[in-house]
Chain A
């Protein structure tokens, strides 16, 4: 019995955050859905909060990544540096290859 989903991304991989608004407890912020970023690191694997919030085990554990986005991509009116970045921790099932 495998209680952990295998990581499918590695640092540097380009990913797009799924653009979905399901009901329930979602840890992927609204403002980042649909954005393209790159994997900064794998933080580990954890039982899924979306399931834990519904009295279930959250298993198998899902890989959680720190994903880096450019501020100017996320905020259309961003006036800071072109390389300024924003990092968000996002579970693997919210990410697709970009």
Chain B
């Protein structure tokens, strides 16, 4: 059993950097190793970020410029772990431009996530309740006393807090709870212009007297009477009360329902897709998240836990090896950072192959930021993988390595590996080191790469990388093949 005082050795340091940021860059790796940082030190350093968001509000009003601005922010993050947490909450509080149709409101929601991604989760959910992009997305603005709209009340419980079922498979709430909570959320609207001027309390309220409500009569551990609440005439207090009750909900094991579900989701996101229930309960207990709901504390408990480091295991993988499929934004952003590629201009274009923008590449891979496919966010893990999305990843690798030239937006392998006449084995090791997967490749995968570079000559065959044609064919080709390998799709 390891703990927060364990020093981060090479493999764990790389794993820590991959998961708390985008790719294990050499300078960041060196910083951890030269200071002999422990799990706890590194976690504290990465969690010490300011709540203030980067200047995110898009210059243009169109979707693609806002999207690509976010990508640009991710490629050079001021605080990588903050950026990763924002992406977690963006999936969690999934809100899609396809319905909201308002870039400024979408950007405002992302700023909210930057500000509150590591604080008190109750405050975060209360803010989301009143977030105009969310109010549009889940029809809160269309939820009126005479004809309640259940959309937000349902997803608030199913997706944002409780989940449909607890760990034992028992329902966490009933349709009646949805109806009662929907009643509490009637009457809300917002003044868009005032809101965007940062006058955040200028909501147009029309809060009718809706009478007493009772929720969780059969779930939540509140006893046979459930929890009743009546806060008439003041909508904000009433929906805040709903959140406070939800965060007291206990599952059929007697554990705090929101804490367990949130901890499981964060473990799935940062560690691997199959955390044990016992690990979930440990990180909740170690952080006190079931009483303080402090997100940074919960994340820290995960980052010092052995379960987090399991998925950094080296090849060869076996049936019990825990691995997670790299999601498209992580795949693209970390690759661009590792290869020190600059994307060009406002559209963040990759200057090779099809000269497509970051948005186009990510769209083909199945993950457009600010436009998740539904309120459920994205489907993760092997759902990222299909022939279509694999071709998109393969095409990205091709386009990137085809960005030839000496310009600032070109792929410059001579700056990443030594040229000259070298053995095929050494060249393969250098390239897989740059891409951070040397210890993730099996012997047969490495063998396939060696055979390619040496044209069948083997690991000791020499290859002249000073030769223009050889370099442009084999070295560029090798980088693309590593990025196209099954191991590179995992992390």
Partners in one complex: no
Q: What residues make up the interface of B, taking CB atoms closer than 8 Å to A?
A: none
Interface residues of A (CB under 8 A from B): none
